[in-house]
Structure 1
Amino acid sequence: MNAFRKLGRVAGIAFTLLAAAPAIAATCGNDASGFERWLGEFRREAAGAGISASALRALDGVTYSTQVIGLDRNQKHFSVPFEQFVANRVTKGRIAKGKQMLKQYAGPLARIEQRFGVPGTILVAIWGMETDFGANSGKMPVFRSLATLAYDCRRTEFFTAQLLDALRIVQRGDLSIGQMRGAWAGELGQTQFMPSSYVKYAVDFSGDGHADLIGNPVDVLASTANYLKAYGWQRGADYHQGGGNFQALLGWNKAVNNARAIGLFADKLAQ
C-alpha cells in the first residue's frame, strides 16, 4: 500500500498525550546536523509524558535516515482508472489465497463478525491488499523511520505523535523493541496500522495478553474490524460505493479506488 494513502487515512485522527503530559517541543530540522540534539530533547520530554525508561531504550542508537527522507520526498500521487488500479491488487492468486484464509480462520472470523459486525470477506480482502496476507509487512526499523520524520520539519507534529505511540506499544507489552519493524513511514503489522491507530484500535482477540498485529493473524483481523467499526461500519449494510459502509472503507483508506477494490475483492471471495 502506498504510504501517502496510508498517512492520509489517519491524518485527521485527534492524537492526545497523557493528561498530565507536557507538549513535545524539541526543535525540528531539515538535515542530519541537529538530529542528535533533537533526539536528546525528545527523550527528556517523552519521559515527562509518561514514557518509561525501559521503553525509551528503543531510541538507543537511533540515527537519522536519509533513505526515509528520500522516500517521503518522492511520493507519487497517481490517479489511474479503477480497472488499472485493481489489476495488480485483486488477482487470481490473491483470491485463491484469500479463500484459503477464509477457511483457515473461519472460526475466529465468525466470532469477529459477531462482535464487530464486519464480515470475514472484507477483512481478508484488506489483509490481502495491504500485505499479501502478511508476506510483505515491511522490515524497516520503525523507531528510526519515525524519529527521522518527527525531527524533520515537514510534518513534525504528526510524526511526533506517532513516535510517542510507538513507544507506548512497547511500554504496554504488545510488541518488543526488536519486533518494531514495518514500512518506511512507520506502518506496522499485517494490515499496516500507524502507531497511533495501533494504540487506539488494536485488540487482543486471541486472549494471550498482547495485541500483536505482526505475528498473530487473529489479532490482526479483529483489530482491523475494530478500526472499521470505529469509522462507522454498520452490520449488514452495503459496502459498495453509495452504500452505508463505503464511508467506513474510506476511513480505512481515503482513496476511492482502494475502497472500491476492497469491495470487489470481498465479492470475489464470497463467490
Structure 2
Amino acid sequence: MSLVTRWLAIIMIGCAGAAAPAQASEGSEASELEAGFAAYVEQIKQEALAAGYKEETLATAFENVTFYQRSVKADRNQPEFKLTLDTYLPRAVPEWKAKKAVEMYQQHRELLEKIGKEYGVQPRFIVALWGIETNFGAFTGGMDVISALTTMAYEGRREEFFKKELWHALTIVEEGHIPIEQMKGSWAGAMGQAQFMPSSFMAYAVDYDGDGRKDIWGSQGDVFASAANYLKSVGWRDDVTWGRQVQLPPGFDGAQASLTIKKPLAEWQALGVRSYDGTDLPKRDDIVASIVIPDDQEGRVFLAYSNYDALMRWNRSHYFVAAVGYLSDRIRFPRSE
C-alpha cells in the first residue's frame, strides 16, 4: 500500500469525529478507512507468514486488530517538547511520587537488593525507572500492542521501524510469554511495567522467577531483573551515580556542552564548573563526564556521568534522564516529614 493511500486513510479518521452533513458520508468515510487498514493488515499477515510465523499465531494476534487514531495523534504531539525542564520535573516527579518511591523501595527491598547485586545496578535506579515509566506498575498502557504497532507501521513515516517491532511482538506471542489478550502497552507499543519495546524485550527481558515466561507485565522479579539487565548491557556502573546538577562559570563556552565531549572531573573543575551548592567537584580520577544543558544556561545544568549515557539508551530524552536521576536521588536521600 502506498504512503499516499495511508495518509488519505489517516486524514479520514481525523475527520470521523467531526459532524458530517449526512449519515451516508460518515459511513462512506468509515468504510474507506476500514478497507485501507484492513488491506494493510492482510499484507502484513502475508509477510509474516512468509517470514515463518505460524498461521495460528497470526490468526490470534490479528483477530481483533484495530486502527488507533490515538497512536498517530500522540506520535505527532509529544508534550515534552513544549516544556522546560523546570516545568517538566514537578510533573514527572511530584512529591507524592517521591514518597511512594521510597515506600516501594522498602516494600521490595530484599528482591531489589538481590537483583541489584547480581546485575551490578543500584536498586534505587530500578525503582526510579519503574516509577517514571509506569507509576510503579499502575499505568502500563491499555492499548493492544499488535494494533498499536500495526497502526504506526500503516501510518508510514517509520514503517520499517514499527514493522520490525511488530515481528518481535509476534515472536513474543509465539513463544508464549504473554497471552495475546493481556499484551497491552502504550500507544507506540511499549509494554509492561518496564515499558520495553518488543525489540528490547527480546534482547533484555529476563525470566527471573523461572516460570518459563519473561513476564514484564505481572512478575515483579522479571520486571526488576529485566530493567537491571538492560542497564548492565548498556554499560551501567554501580560505583558511580547518574550525574549531578552543577553551576557553570561566567562566559562558559556552550559548545563544550555535549555528550560527545567527555573530560575528567579535574578538568571541569579547572574550567570553573562547580557543584550546584558551589563546592568543588568530587575528586575522582576514574570518572569522565559531560556537560548537559537541556534548555539553556539560565536553566538546570548537569554534569553527566557514564550512567547518564546508559539512561539515554533507555530513552533518548534529557528530560527523561533528569527525572529518573532526580527520583533516584530522592530515594537515596529521602526527606523527613
Cα 1:145–1:260 change in 2 (3 A) is same
| Contact persistence 1:27–1:38 (CA under 8 A) | no
State the distance in 1 between where 2:90 and 2:216 align: 27
- Number of aligned residue pairs: give it: 246
State the distance in 2 between where 1:238 and 1:103 align: 20
3-state DSSP class of the match of 1:238? coil
Aligned equivalent of 2:116, options 95, 113, 117 = 113
Read off the aligned partner of 2:329 and give its amino acid letter.
D
1:38 maps to what in 2?
40
- Cα offset, 1:110, TM superposition: 1.6
Query: Residue 148 in 1 paired to residue 151 in 2?
Result: yes
1:9 maps to what in 2?
none
Identity %: 38
3-state DSSP class of the match of 2:72? helix
1:21 maps to what in 2?
none
State the distance in 1 between where 2:111 and 2:65 align: 38
1:119-130, aligned counterparts within 5 Å? Answer: 119-130=122-133
| Contact persistence 1:27–1:151 (CA under 8 A) | no
| Contact persistence 2:71–2:148 (CA under 8 A) | yes
Aligned equivalent of 1:138, options 133, 137, 141 = 141
State the distance in 2 between where 1:255 and 1:79 align: 13
Structure 1, unmatched stretches of 5+, are 1-25
State the distance in 1 between where 2:40 and 2:2 align: 6
2:290 maps to what in 1?
none
Read off the aligned partner of 1:50 and give its amino acid letter.
G
Read off the aligned partner of 1:182 and give its amino acid letter.
G
| Contact persistence 2:130–2:137 (CA under 8 A) | yes
Q: Which has the higher contact order (CA 8 A, sep 6+)?
A: 1
Cα 1:171–1:76 change in 2 (3 A) is same
- Cα offset, 1:216, TM superposition: 1.4
3-state DSSP class of the match of 1:51? coil
- Cα offset, 1:74, TM superposition: 3.0
2:313 maps to what in 1?
251
3-state DSSP class of the match of 2:151? helix
- Cα offset, 1:131, TM superposition: 1.1
State the distance in 2 between where 1:152 and 1:81 align: 29
State the distance in 2 between where 1:262 and 1:62 align: 34
Structure 2, unmatched stretches of 5+, are 10-32, 244-302
3-state DSSP class of the match of 2:304? coil
- Cα offset, 1:27, TM superposition: 5.7
Q: Deviations over 1:121-154 (max 9, x none)?
A: 0010111111111111111111111111112221
Considering only CA atoms, is the larger Rg found in Structure 1 or Structure 2? 2
1:260 maps to what in 2?
322
2:241 maps to what in 1?
238
- Cα offset, 1:181, TM superposition: 1.2
Cα 1:126–1:172 change in 2 (3 A) is same
1:31-70, aligned counterparts within 5 Å? Answer: 31=9, 32=33, 33-56=35-58, 57-70=60-73
Deviates more, 1:253-262 or 1:161-170: 253-262
Aligned equivalent of 2:192, options 189, 195, 199 = 189
- Cα offset, 1:102, TM superposition: 1.3
3-state DSSP class of the match of 1:78? helix
State the distance in 2 between where 1:161 and 1:212 align: 21
- Cα offset, 1:187, TM superposition: 1.1
Task: Please identify which structure carries the higher strand content.
Answer: 2
Read off the aligned partner of 2:312 and give its amino acid letter.
L
| Contact persistence 2:80–2:88 (CA under 8 A) | no
Read off the aligned partner of 2:39 and give its amino acid letter.
R
Q: Deviations over 1:199-248 (max 9, x none)?
A: 11111111121111111122111111111112211231231142221100
- Cα offset, 1:64, TM superposition: 2.4
3-state DSSP class of the match of 2:196? coil
State the distance in 2 between where 1:239 and 1:67 align: 34
Quote the RMSD (CA, aligned, Å).
1.8
Query: Residue 212 in 1 paired to residue 215 in 2?
Result: yes
- Cα offset, 1:50, TM superposition: 2.4
